[in-house]
A and B are shown apart, each in its own frame.
Chain A
Amino acid sequence: MTVRDALNSAIDEEMSADPKVFLMGEEVGEYQGAYKITKGLLEKYGPDRVLDTPITEAGFTGIGVGAAYHGLKPIVEFMTFNFSMQAIDHIINSAAKSNYMSAGQISVPIVFRGPNGAAAGVGAQHSQCYAPWFASCPGLKVLAPYSSEDARGLMKAAIRDPDPVVFLENELLYGESFPVSAEVLDSSFCLPIGKAKIEREGKDVTITAFSKMVGYALKAAEILSKEGISAEVINLRSIRPLDRATINNSVRKTNRLVTVEEGFPQHGIGAEICASVVEDSFEYLDAAIERIAGADVPMPYAANLERLAVPQVEDIVRAAKRTCYRSSSLAATA
C-alpha cells in the first residue's frame, strides 16, 4: 500500500466513524488534494465535511481551531508546512496552550497535517522542516510517519486524539509502497502516540531517524552490516512526545548514537535527542554522539547543491563508523 493510500484510507475511515471529523484546506475537495491525499473524500462526504478554503492560512486555521473549541474534530491541511508559518499563532497560541490556560475547559481536538521538509528542487521557501519548532511547544503532539503502516496508524491516532496534533508527512514518501498486514488494514488499527519503533535491531550503534530519513538509515544499516557493524535503526514516529525510553534503552545496549534528520541542524531534533541521552545515559556512551542533519543553509535549487544540502546514505554510514572509531579509508575488521 502506498503512503498516499494509507493516509487516504485512514482519513476516510475516521470520517466515516465519527461525524464530527471534517476536512479543510486548499484544494482538498474538488481538486482531489494537491498531492491527491484527499482523493474521493468530497464525493463521499459532501461539501459540508470536505471544505475547499481560499489561500488564507491565518483565517482558515483560526476557523479550524475555533471549530475544535466548540467540539468538532477538524483536519486542517497545509499544502506544505512552509505555509503553516502564516498560521503559526493559531497553532501555538490558540490551539496548543488553550487546554492549559483554561485549566482543562477548552480542549482542542484538531489535526494539522501536510507535507513537511525537503521535496525535490522546490527551493528555499518550500523546503523547511518544522519538526523542531512545533516539537518544542508543550501542548502540541508532533507525529512523523515513515511507512504506510505508520501513516495509517498514526493518522488514526491523531484524529482520535483529544489534543492538537501536528502531523508531518513527506511529499517524496507519498508514492512509496510498503507491505501492510491485515491488522494494519483493519479499520480499528491505531498506533500509540509517543512510542518509537525499532525498525531494525542491532548491537553496535543506534541510529535515530524520522520520516524519509528512516529509509536512508535502513539503507545505511545494510551497508554497515556488510562491514561488520550492526546498526539498530529507530523510527521515532513521535517527535513530541519523544520516546526517550526507547532511545536510551537502545543506546545503553549499543553505546553509540547517530541522530539523523533532514532539517536544519541548530536546535534540531538531534540536538534534543543528544541532550536526552547525555542526561540519562552518559556513562553508557563509548563515543561522542554524532548528528547528521540538513546543511545549515537555505535550500539551494541546483541539483548538485541540493544534494549537498540534504543528508545522504553515505553521510549516515560515515558518522556511524566514526562512532565505532573506524574511518572509511580503513578496511573493515571482523
Chain B
Amino acid sequence: MALSHLSSTRSNRLLRPLAAAASSLCRPISTSTEPLVIETSIPFTPHKCEPPSRSVETNPQELLTFFRDMATMRRMEIAADSLYKAKLIRGFCHLYDGQEAVCVGMEASINKKDCIITAYRDHCTFLGRGGTLLEIFSELMGRQGGCSKGKGGSMHFYKKESGFYGGHGIVGAQVPLGCGLAFAQKYNKDENVTFALYGDGAANQGQLFEALNISALWDLPIILVCENNHYGMGTAEWRAAKSPSYYKRGDYVPGLKVDGMDVLAVKQACKFAKEHVLKNGPIILEMDTYRYHGHSMSDPGSTYRTRDEISGVRQERDPIERVRKLVLGHDLATEKELKDIEKEIRKEVDEAIAKAKESPMPEPSELFTNVYVKGFGTESFGADRKELRATLP
C-alpha cells in the first residue's frame, strides 16, 4: 500500500494507463478524508420543523467504511440464516438485511456516549456499536463467548460500555426504556442523546405515546426512530395503522421522514436530530426501509408480499449497491477492490463462525448466576429442588 491515492480528476484518469502495469496492483483504495458533498436520493419530508439540507458532507474514507460495515452486516445476517437452518441457532432469529443503512448511518453521526436501544432485530445494531462477529455468532449459538454469555440469545444483545442497551423482546417496551435513558443523560447533564428504535408495528403501541408525552413535557434528549419496513410481522402498515405517516404521529413532536436505504440521508437526519433534541426536546425520525427476510426465520416473508416487490427493492434501493455506485462513480475504488473487500468480509465471517463453534456451552452452574446482583445467599432451585439447588451469591 505504498502509493497514496488522491481522488481522481479527469486529468488523472488520463495518466493512469501508463502507470497501470506497475501500480494498479498495489494502488490502495482511497483513504482520503477530503470532503465530498453528495445529495441524498430524495429530500427529507418534515413535520413541524425545518428539514436539514439534502447535501451531505462525507469523504472517501467514510464511504468506504460505510460499504465495508454494511457488507459485513449483510454477510453476517445471511450466515445467520444458514446457521439457523442448520439448527445451530434456536428459537427466534430476526434478520436485518436490507436495513443496514439505518444503523450504519446513525453510527456515523453519533458517539459511544450517545445511547441506542432497539427491539429484537438487533444483531447489526450491536455490531455497529462495537460488538464483534465472534460475540454475535457465539451468542446466537448459545455459547460462553457470546455477548450475553449464551444466556440471552438473539434478542438480548447488550453493550453498556458503548451505549447499547439492547436487545428487547417485548414490542414497544424499548421506547419508554429509551426515554428513561435520555432522562438519565439529562439528569447527569451529559450532552448526549438516546436513539430509541422501533418498527412500524410498534409505532401503534400506547406506551410509546405515554413516553413521548412525558419526554416532550420534560424536554428529554430522545430521538424516536421508526424503522418503517412496512410490515409488522405479516401485517402491512396500511392494515395496522390508520395513519402510516409515522413521522407525523408525534403530533406536537416534530418529525422527519428519511429514505432509510440511503446511508447518507440517515447520517444527515441523525446529525440533525441530535442537535435538535439537545435544544428542543424529542423528535421522531421515520426511516423508510425494507427487510429482505421475513419477520423471523419462521416466516418465509412471501405470503404477505410479492417476490417482485422484494426483488424490486433489492434492485432499485439496496443500500450497499447505492454506496457501491457512489464509490465507483467517484472513482474511490475499483470494482475489483470492492469485490476483494467483500471476499475479505466473507472470510472474516466464516472465521468468526468457526471460532464461535469452538466456544463451549455455558457451565450448568451458570443457570443460577446473575439472577440478582446481590443474592444475599438466598437459595434457588432447579426442576427437582431436592436434586438441584444453588445459593445465589
Contact = CB atoms under 8 A, between A and B. Distances in A.
B46 interface: no
A65 interface: yes
Contact of A62 (B159, B169, B180, B385): B180
27 contacts: A48-B187, A54-B214, A59-B176, A59-B209, A59-B213, A60-B214, A62-B173, A63-B176, A63-B179, A66-B117, A66-B177, A66-B182, A66-B183, A66-B184, A67-B181, A67-B183, A67-B184, A67-B187, A69-B180, A90-B176, A94-B173, A99-B371, A103-B152, A103-B370, A106-B165, A138-B371, A138-B380
A163 B393 CA distance: 13
Given A69-B177, A70-B115, A241 B376 contact: yes
Contact of B374 (A60, A103, A163): A163
Contacts of A58: 176, 206-207, 210
B170 interface: yes
B180 A67 contact: yes
Interface string B43-75: 000000000000000000000000000000000
A102 B176 contact: no
A72 interface: yes
Contacts of A138: 371, 380
A56 interface: yes
A51 to B, nearest CB: 7
Interface string A15-50: 000000010000000000000000000000000100
A220 B377 CA distance: 33
Contact of B148 (A60, A65, A90, A102): A102
Interface in B146-191: 148-152, 156, 158-160, 165-170, 173, 175-185, 187-188
A161 B374 contact: yes
Interface string A81-116: 000000001100110001111111111010000000
A56 B181 contact: no
Given A101-B156, A102-B158, A69 B370 contact: no
B211 A59 contact: yes
A139 B372 contact: yes
B373 interface: yes
A66 B376 CA distance: 25
A53 interface: yes
A286 to B, nearest CB: 23
Given A101-B156, A103-B149, A105-B148, A62 B175 contact: yes
Given A54-B214, A63-B180, A66-B184, 6 more contacts: A62-B173, A63-B179, A66-B179, A89-B173, A109-B373, A194-B376
